[in-house]
């Protein structure tokens, strides 16, 4: 009796069992998507938080690119295998189970199962990374959809004489999946920003009343801004002039004055035309330190003052939080 078409490693075509070809296809498609997923996540994280005006250029960027080129392929391959075992293949099995009990094409049930399981795995992913849950839902659903369709494609080609995809053949075609994921990421990301699921970071707008407080930072730094425009500080990093060559800042104790600057006139690194960052200009009265511009950052609930000393690409960031 004819047992029906047989796929790779003796698995029935369309069956719920996992063949070696299924695992390989799911891992290859998952790994191929990871460069795009990583880029989207990094973009979301950088857009949703304050970059503090720090750049990553020069030798640091070159070293980073080198590390990515050397280490990312095996890392992505391993993570693709993890996704295949934990997400894609369980969804394929669930799709086969549902297709046997309900009407409709099996590939559609596999696709729906993959997207549903993506919402489940988005919960721990959001908890571990801090990236919002809706972002992970979008990414994992789209990723699982491509992976599930990849398994279906390999299974359909496997029983065709002379056209079975070998393990290397699947991985050789994986750049096409990367391209498809990149094309898919554009409308998905746009939709995220359009619907408000993704948000660009906007620094808080603080009044002089909100700034009038005690601010503390690392190294025992204390800055007290008074309602009368007076300021007192202890061990506070302050800009230095030519009289201290080779030093970006000194720590000072003393008094001075402060004022709120909404035009970014004194902001050395974050000049953005009509969208300058608000900040506090601190003018010490004593000989220790020069006028220093502290940019307003953080959020309205947890505001910060920060200053970047030295080169923006490798500067020394100092932050103060409101107490």
Q: What is the CA radius of gyration of the chain?
A: 28
Residue 247 has pLDDT above 70, yes or no: no
Cα–Cα distance list, 120 to 91, 291, 309 (Å): 12, 52, 44
Convert the pLDDT of each residue in 9-66 to its tens digit.
334 444 445 666 777 777 888 788 877 777 777 777 666 677 776 655 444 445 555 5
Q: Tell me which residue has tokens 């010490």.
A: 284
Residue 185 has pLDDT above 80, yes or no: no
HSE of 319 in the Cβ direction (CA atoms, 13 Å)?
14
Mean pLDDT score of the chain: 75
Residue 277 has pLDDT above 70, yes or no: yes
Convert the pLDDT of each residue in 83-96 to its tens digit.
888 888 888 788 88
Percent of the chain with pLDDT over 90: 16
Please, what is the angle between helix 89-101 and helix 106-129, to 10°? 140
Please indicate whether residue 118 or residue 304 has the higher confidence score (pLDDT). Answer: 304
Beta-carbon count within 10 A of 109 CB: 23
23: Cβ contacts below 8 Å, ≥ 6 apart: 81, 84, 85, 89
Could you give the 3-state DSSP secondary structure of residue 201?
Answer: coil
Res 210: pLDDT: 93
Res 168: pLDDT: 65
Q: Are 72 and 35 in contact (CB under 8 A)?
A: yes
Res 116: pLDDT: 84
Confidence of residue 294 (pLDDT cuts 50, 70, 90): very high
Res 112: pLDDT: 85
């Amino acid at each position: 009796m004819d047992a029906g078409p047989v796929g790779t490693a003796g698995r029935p075509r369309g069956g719920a069992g996992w063949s070696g070809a299924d695992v390989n296809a799911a891992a290859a498609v998952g790994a191929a998507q990871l460069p795009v997923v990583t880029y989207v996540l990094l973009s979301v994280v950088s857009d949703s938080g304050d970059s503090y005006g720090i750049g990553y250029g020069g030798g640091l960027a070159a070293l980073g690119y080198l590390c990515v080129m050397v280490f990312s392929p095996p890392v992505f391959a391993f993570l693709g295998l993890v996704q295949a075992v934990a997400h894609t293949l369980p969804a394929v099995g669930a799709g086969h189970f549902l297709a046997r009990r309900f009407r409709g094409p099996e590939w559609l049930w596999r696709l729906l199962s993959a997207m549903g399981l993506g919402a489940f795995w988005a919960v721990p992913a959001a908890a571990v990374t801090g990236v919002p849950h809706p972002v992970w839902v979008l990414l994992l659903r789209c990723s699982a959809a491509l992976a599930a369709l990849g398994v279906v494609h390999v299974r359909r080609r496997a029983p065709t004489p002379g056209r079975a995809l070998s393990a290397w053949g699947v991985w050789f075609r994986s750049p096409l999946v990367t391209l498809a994921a990149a094309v898919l990421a554009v409308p998905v990301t746009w939709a995220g920003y359009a619907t408000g699921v993704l948000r660009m970071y906007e620094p808080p707008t603080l009044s002089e009343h909100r700034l009038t407080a005690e601010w503390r930072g690392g190294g025992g730094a204390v800055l007290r801004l008074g309602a009368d425009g007076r300021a007192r500080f202890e061990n506070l990093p302050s800009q230095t002039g030519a009289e201290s060559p080779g030093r970006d800042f000194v720590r000072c104790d003393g008094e001075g004055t402060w004022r709120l600057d909404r035009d970014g006139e004194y902001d050395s690194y974050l000049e953005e035309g009509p969208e300058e960052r608000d900040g506090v200009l601190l003018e010490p009265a004593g000989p220790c330190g020069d006028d220093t511009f502290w940019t307003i950052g953080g959020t309205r609930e947890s505001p910060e003052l920060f200053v970047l000393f030295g080169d923006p690409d490798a500067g020394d960031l100092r932050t103060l939080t409101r107490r």
